[in-house]
Amino acid sequence: MNTAMTPLQLTALLPLILATLTSVVVMLTIAFKRHHRLVAGITVAGLNLALLSLIPVIVAANGQAIELTPLLIVDGYAIFYMGLVLITALGVLTLCHAYFEGYSGNREELYLLLSMATLGALVMVCSRHFAGFFIGLELLSVPLYAMVAYPVRDSRALEGGVKYLVLSGAASAFMLFGIALIYAETGALGFAEIAGKLAMGRQGILLAGAAMILVGIGFKLSAVPFHLWTSDVYEAAPAPVAAFLATVSKAAMFVVVYRLFVNVGLFRQPATVEALTWLAVASMLVGNLLALRQDNVKRILAYSSIAQFGYLLVALILAGGRATEAAGIFLLSYLVTALGVFGVMTLVSSPMKDRDVEHIEQFRGLFWKRPYLASIMTTLLLSLAGIPLTAGFIGKFYVIAIGVDARQWLLMGAVIVGSAIGLYYYLRVMIMMFQPIPVRERVSEPLNWVQNAGGAMLMLAMALMLVIGVYPEPFLDLIRASVLVVR
Amino acid sequence: MTNSIILVWLLFLPFVGGWASWQAERYSRYLPRWIALSTMLTVLGISVWLWFTGDYSLAAPSAIPQWTLQYKAEWIPSFGISFHLGLDGLSILLIILTNLLGVMAIGCSWREIDRYVGFFHLNLMWNLAGVVGVFLAMDLFLFFFFWEMMLVPMYFLIALWGHSMPGGKSRVYAATKFFIFTQFSGLIMLLAILALVFLHHSSTGVWSFGYMDLLVTAKQLDPQIAWWLMIGFFLAFAVKMPLVPFHTWLPDAHGMAPTAGSVDLAGILLKTAAYGLLRFGLPFFPEASKDFAPIAMSFGVLGVIYGAVVAFSQTDIKRLIAYTSISHMGFVVIGIYAGTTQALQGVVIQMIAHGLSAGALFILCGEIYERLHTRDLRLMGGLWARFPYLPPIMLFFSAASLGLPGLGNFVGEFLILVGTFPVAPIITIISASGLILAAVYSLILVQKAFHGRPREDGHGAHLEDLSKRELAMMGLMMALLLGLGLYPQPVLDTAAAAMKTVELQYSPAPLAAAASASAP
């Protein structure tokens, strides 16, 4: 195989190169001068450049898939999700800047960690080979351990970080073992190559391998019963880091798993489909049920994200065809909404104090104190609940549509029951913000909050969410244009 | 087909007005009210104008629905979803009712609501706009969209401005229960809609959520599939109606809701379910509905009797009226599934009359509550001596509710019973007993609240009576009920064509047989 890169391949690699460069430059800058705003600025600039570099990639690719080594592929699917990952990461970055202003320790390394994790997510989105998948996964996970435990003097954060480290390590080990088993039987690691050789291997061992990989995937997507870490880690992590966990980290994992499913044709294997169906049903029901009795909004959101990925798993189970579209629109609306919700959590907790504002009682009367922030939170919660006019409705509509088309009545029943249960806690948080409070506490927020990066980002997220909800056609076109190349 | 932009105005004016009154709250406490009132009056004016100028009689009523006015625009073409509004005799009547009760709801909360006035009117008007959207939508996605969209404002109305019962459940509880019940059943309907759309796609290769397209597909379905889809639609409407045993959210919601919320809920929201059955349930699945009719009518009878009996034993005046709504809506279900011209015409009259009478009764309850600070019938009594106007007006609406001849409700119930008798005599006989029970609970209400010795409750021997504003509102509603009772013909004429279409869709065969039998 010719190892030299053609200019076309180099162009396709641009986003990854720029993201890598961002990490290096940030690291060097920190070595010379510690300056919060400077470092944040460099990271934002670097990731924006990576985002902009998608334009030459689109032009160069011209609708074709560009193969970069056996490990990576840049097709429409990868480009779309690279864009999504980068935009979400940028959103998290603006939140980090607002939040960590109040942190007394060294603030700058967080941006280094964040840019590396984003690079990992980009690699995952492009990979078509188990090696690329695993490299990306570790590149994403390892910085995240440190990000969760970033306020090192806070024992809660440390506990969360260690918990995530240990459990995530165990999940990675499972996954690696599963990959090894599959490799032992098929002699291949590329998704497409495996697909051709599945019939040759011994089914028992292949099944064991697939099951172990599924454990690793289930952990990262926090599907029930591999969800136990989620609420603790979300609660312990600083709010913007929890945002990153809930958005970029989960989305990247889903994107690569979806590619794996479609390329290997796993959605045609009854055993995996059955296992995934039960994972999905359990995630929707258990995730929603566990959220009911929580008083901590971060924990509620953690359980809600478990349930949301339960809905999304429906698209994975029915992979191929319209399900790709459904997964795209669902992920898009979920990312926008989740980023916004965690953004509100971050802004009400900024600048960082000993504990984030996270108890449901602390949200009492928020609407009368900070009407815009509370309005944004309300619409975003309605979007998570899947009420019309919001993006969440379009996402859920698509999921139900493909489910009905495939006559998956068990899954559809779970979606409906799950949504009905979910309403309870979304409404509970929502109405708390409207509860009356004594008049003297009704201090309106300073008017310049929108001008802050965090506030502007939130307004954008909400606006985008509403646009997707009211007029989704352009976004659907975009998703349809980003074809996933099979094989 | 010409696009009538006026339909879009009907829909968007309340949205804009609601937004404006929210923003106006910053400047004045009264401005939001005036903005809301003038917007609703404008919309009411437009809808009445449409009624007078439009031609709602069809040249040749057939099983294919025809619209007087339409508006259509592309929305999500990849799924065949369009922004398609259509107006016929049934929708215009219900839209006028909606807008009229909307004006009443704003009028009756003029004094009652003093917290967050602007935000209140935002919710009220968005709810009304959602309901108007339900009555206009001719695309099933759009219909579902409005169906769900009217829930959120209603939730806020109950949860924020409601009254928690001392020592009882909170208003947030009632609001959440309302939301979850209706959302859950709504999602089941979404499943049915989507199944229909996919079946349409597999048979024609075209994606469409359009009413006319799906109507064709729905008629050709395999009976078993049609049965399941019909159940999906029926469940959503049964919860909203509400039919016993899906009714438990209603008394709670009414018990806690503010007056305007109750007027809105009883007068308008419940009608969306009946409208849904008339527009979608029966026309889409005539055969399955016919098989299901005995069961649905039994649910209706159960509602008539159960609602009346339980109403009788209530001590909370608003819960009492809530249960009477269940009883009255039972008649509506019976009439819809009977499917004869008289019965369907009766359903329309009954819906309008019940909207007016229940709305007025809830407004009066609100007035009593404002003065006595209780809704407990055991703590009332002897009120007749303490007000000059309110008790007789309440008596009037109670009499309307019990079906006194000369008032609208009588016409509705009478037509329903007459129209149902040839189809289901036993059902008719049992449900007619509901009229007697209605007399019992209505008179009990009047007797307990107004007669007997006046109580010493610290509010003085004479209570402040209805203001001119309230008297004017009551007078208008009394006049309308009387008009509906004495000369219902204009309403019957308007609805005739639409109801004839439903009838032809629901039972084409027996009619043809009857016609040929009577010809010689």
Please give the average per-residue pLDDT across A445-472, as a whole number: 80
A393 close contact with B: CB closer than 8 A: yes
Q: How confident is the model at residue B361 (pLDDT cuts 50, 70, 90)?
A: very high
Q: Beta-carbon neighbour count of residue B26 at 10 Å?
A: 9
Q: Do A434 and B195 touch (CB under 8 A)?
A: no
Taking CB atoms and an 8 Å cutoff, what residues of chain B touch A434? Answer: 156, 159-160
Q: Is the pLDDT of residue B327 over 60?
A: yes
Q: Which residue type occupies A464?
A: L
pLDDT at A152: 86
pLDDT at B197: 93
Token representation of residue A256 = 């690569």
Please give the average per-residue pLDDT across B505-516, as a whole number: 55
Alpha-carbon distance B233 to nearest alpha carbon in chain A (angstroms): 15
Please give the average per-residue pLDDT across A420-438, as a whole number: 89
To test the contact with chain B by mutation, choose from A382, A405, A410 the residue with the greatest count of B C-beta atoms within 10 A, namely A405
Alpha-carbon distance A406 to nearest alpha carbon in chain B (angstroms): 10
Judge contact between B222 and B288, C-beta under 8 A. no
- Terminal Cα-to-Cα distance of chain B (whole angstroms): 41
Q: Is A412 helix (H, G, I), strand (E, B) or coil?
A: helix
pLDDT at A304: 95
Report how far residue B359's alpha carbon sits from residue B260's, in angstroms, rounded to the nearest whole number: 9
Q: Is the pLDDT of residue B509 over 60?
A: no
Please give the average per-residue pLDDT across A38-50, as a whole number: 94
More confident residue, A271 or A172: A172
Report how far residue B250's alpha carbon sits from residue B322's, in angstroms, rounded to the nearest whole number: 7
Q: Do A423 and B180 touch (CB under 8 A)?
A: yes
Taking CB atoms and an 8 Å cutoff, what residues of chain B touch A420? Answer: 180, 183-184, 187
Residues 112-151 of B with CB under 8 A from A: 115, 144-146, 148-149, 151
Token representation of residue B505 = 């869709």
Taking CB atoms and an 8 Å cutoff, what residues of chain B touch A480? Answer: 78
Q: Which residue type occupies A467?
A: V
In DSSP terms, B69 is beta-bridged to: B87
Taking CB atoms and an 8 Å cutoff, what residues of chain A touch B183? Answer: 419-420, 423
C-alpha Rg value of chain A to the nearest Å: 21
Taking CB atoms and an 8 Å cutoff, what residues of chain A touch B159? Answer: 431, 434
Nearest chain A residue to B201 by CA distance is A405
Of the candidates B77, B151, B187, the beta carbon closest to that of A419 is on B187
Alpha-carbon distance B220 to nearest alpha carbon in chain A (angstroms): 18
- Residue B166 CB burial class (10 angstroms; 0-12, 13-18, ≥19): exposed
Token representation of residue B210 = 């359009």
Nearest chain A residue to B192 by CA distance is A404
Judge contact between A145 and A257, C-beta under 8 A. no
Report how far residue B492's alpha carbon sits from residue B310's, in angstroms, rounded to the nearest whole number: 32
With a CB cutoff of 8 Å and minimum separation 6, the contacts of A95 are A239, A240, A243, A342, A343, A346, A347, A454, A457
A481 close contact with B: CB closer than 8 A: no
Token representation of residue B309 = 């009996």
Dihedral of CA atoms B384, B389, B395, B398 in degrees, nearest 10, equals: -120
Token representation of residue B442 = 């209505």
Q: Is the pLDDT of residue B515 over 50?
A: no
Dihedral of CA atoms A352, A358, A362, A363 in degrees, nearest 10, equals: 110
pLDDT at B514: 45
Q: What is the pLDDT of residues B260-283, one digit of tens each?
A: 999 999 889 999 999 999 999 999
Q: Tokens 């979304």 — which residue?
A: A426
Report how far residue A202's alpha carbon sits from residue B334's, in angstroms, rounded to the nearest whole number: 64
To test the contact with chain B by mutation, choose from A412, A415, A428 the residue with the greatest count of B C-beta atoms within 10 A, namely A412
Report how far residue A116's alpha carbon sits from residue A19's, in angstroms, rounded to the nearest whole number: 8
* Among the listed residues A93, A83, A82, the one whose alpha carbon sits nearest the alpha carbon of residue A39: A93
Q: Where are the beta strands (DSSP E) in A50-185?
A: 66-68, 72-74
Q: Do A476 and B152 touch (CB under 8 A)?
A: no
What does the DSSP 8-state code read for residue B281? I
Residues 166-185 of A with CB under 8 A from B: none
A431 close contact with B: CB closer than 8 A: yes
Report how far residue B245's alpha carbon sits from residue B63's, in angstroms, rounded to the nearest whole number: 33
Report how far residue A463's alpha carbon sits from residue A336's, in angstroms, rounded to the nearest whole number: 10
Q: Is the pLDDT of residue A487 over 50?
A: no
Helices within A101-154 (DSSP H only): 109-126, 130-148
Report how far residue A443's alpha carbon sits from residue A66's, in angstroms, rounded to the nearest whole number: 56
With a CB cutoff of 8 Å and minimum separation 6, the contacts of B493 are B56, B57
Q: Do B160 and A434 touch (CB under 8 A)?
A: yes
Helices within B451-488 (DSSP H only): 468-486
Q: Is the pLDDT of residue B18 over 90?
A: yes
Q: Do A400 and B191 touch (CB under 8 A)?
A: yes
Judge contact between A342 and A243, C-beta under 8 A. yes
Alpha-carbon distance B144 to nearest alpha carbon in chain A (angstroms): 9
Token representation of residue A175 = 């996954």
Please give the average per-residue pLDDT across A78-106, as a whole number: 91
Q: How confident is the model at residue A2 (pLDDT cuts 50, 70, 90)?
A: low
Q: Do B75 and A473 touch (CB under 8 A)?
A: yes
CB pairs under 8 A between A and B: 74
Helices within B402-507 (DSSP H only): 408-420, 425-450, 468-486, 489-506
Alpha-carbon distance B186 to nearest alpha carbon in chain A (angstroms): 10
Report how far residue B200's alpha carbon sits from residue B194's, in angstroms, rounded to the nearest whole number: 10
pLDDT at B513: 43
Q: How confident is the model at residue A449 (pLDDT cuts 50, 70, 90)?
A: low
Taking CB atoms and an 8 Å cutoff, what residues of chain A touch B194? Answer: 400-401, 404-405
pLDDT at A131: 94
To test the contact with chain A by mutation, choose from B22, B163, B172 the residue with the greatest count of A C-beta atoms within 10 A, namely B172
* Among the listed residues A220, A392, A426, A436, the one whose alpha carbon sits nearest the alpha carbon of residue B120: A436
Of the candidates A387, A424, A472, the beta carbon closest to that of B180 is on A424
Alpha-carbon distance A78 to nearest alpha carbon in chain B (angstroms): 23
Q: What is the pLDDT of residues B459-501, one digit of tens each?
A: 777 777 888 888 999 999 999 999 999 999 999 999 988 888 8
Token representation of residue A348 = 């009400």
Q: What angle do CA A314, A316, A317 make, to 5 degrees?
A: 65
Q: Is A294 helix (H, G, I), strand (E, B) or coil?
A: coil
Q: Is A2 helix (H, G, I), strand (E, B) or coil?
A: coil
* Among the listed residues A388, A383, A302, A371, the one whose alpha carbon sits nearest the alpha carbon of residue A342: A302
* Among the listed residues B369, B372, B370, B364, the one whose alpha carbon sits nearest the alpha carbon of residue B390: B364
Of the candidates A400, A416, A431, the beta carbon closest to that of B172 is on A431
Q: Is the pLDDT of residue A272 over 90?
A: no
Residues 54-93 of B with CB under 8 A from A: 75-79
Report how far residue B119's alpha carbon sits from residue B21's, in angstroms, rounded to the nearest whole number: 8
Report how far residue B38's alpha carbon sits from residue B44's, in angstroms, rounded to the nearest whole number: 10
Q: Is B87 helix (H, G, I), strand (E, B) or coil?
A: strand
Q: What is the largest CA-CA distance in chain A?
A: 74
Judge contact between A403 and A415, C-beta under 8 A. yes
Judge contact between A140 and A51, C-beta under 8 A. no
* Among the listed residues B178, B235, B76, the one whose alpha carbon sits nearest the alpha carbon of residue A397: B76
Q: Is the pLDDT of residue B59 over 70?
A: no
Taking CB atoms and an 8 Å cutoff, what residues of chain A touch B75? Answer: 471, 473
pLDDT at B113: 83
Of the candidates B76, B176, B188, the beta carbon closest to that of A473 is on B76
* Among the listed residues B197, B207, B187, the one whose alpha carbon sits nearest the alpha carbon of residue B75: B207
With a CB cutoff of 8 Å and minimum separation 6, the contacts of B200 are B206, B207, B208, B213, B214, B217
Alpha-carbon distance B177 to nearest alpha carbon in chain A (angstroms): 9
Report how far residue A411's alpha carbon sits from residue A408's, in angstroms, rounded to the nearest whole number: 6
Judge contact between A339 and A247, C-beta under 8 A. yes
Helix/strand/coil (H/E/C) assignment for every residue in B145-181? HHHHHCHHHHHHHHHHHCCCCCCCCCHHHHHHHHHHH
pLDDT at B511: 44
pLDDT at B330: 93
Q: Is the pLDDT of residue A256 over 90?
A: yes
> A265-279, B163-177, B448-462 — which is least confidently predicted?
B448-462
Q: What angle do CA B63, B66, B71 make, to 5 degrees?
A: 145
Mean pLDDT, chain A, rounded, equals 90
In DSSP terms, B84 is beta-bridged to: B72
Mean pLDDT, chain B, rounded, equals 89
Q: Which residue type occupies A166?
A: V
Judge contact between B47 and B14, C-beta under 8 A. no
Q: Is the pLDDT of residue A486 over 70?
A: no
Token representation of residue B158 = 């109950």
pLDDT at B519: 40
Sign of CA dihedral A127, A132, A134, A136: negative
pLDDT at B520: 38
What does the DSSP 8-state code read for residue B266? I
* Among the listed residues B338, B320, B351, B389, the one whose alpha carbon sits nearest the alpha carbon of residue B97: B351
Q: What is the pLDDT of residues A317-334, one digit of tens each?
A: 988 778 899 999 999 999
Report how far residue B88's alpha carbon sits from residue B496's, in angstroms, rounded to the nearest whole number: 10
pLDDT at A86: 96
Q: Where are the beta strands (DSSP E) in A218-307?
A: none
The percentage of residues in chain A with a pLDDT greater than 70, rounded to a whole number, is: 96
Q: Do A423 and B183 touch (CB under 8 A)?
A: yes
Judge contact between A255 and A247, C-beta under 8 A. no
Nearest chain A residue to B143 by CA distance is A388
Nearest chain A residue to B149 by CA distance is A388
Report how far residue B335's alpha carbon sits from residue B420's, in angstroms, rounded to the nearest whole number: 6
* Helix, strand, coil % in chain B, rounded to nearest 5: 75, 5, 20
pLDDT at B289: 92
B194 close contact with A: CB closer than 8 A: yes
Q: Do B179 and A423 touch (CB under 8 A)?
A: yes
* Among the listed residues B175, B184, B182, the one whose alpha carbon sits nearest the alpha carbon of residue B154: B175
Taking CB atoms and an 8 Å cutoff, what residues of chain A touch B76? Answer: 471-473, 476
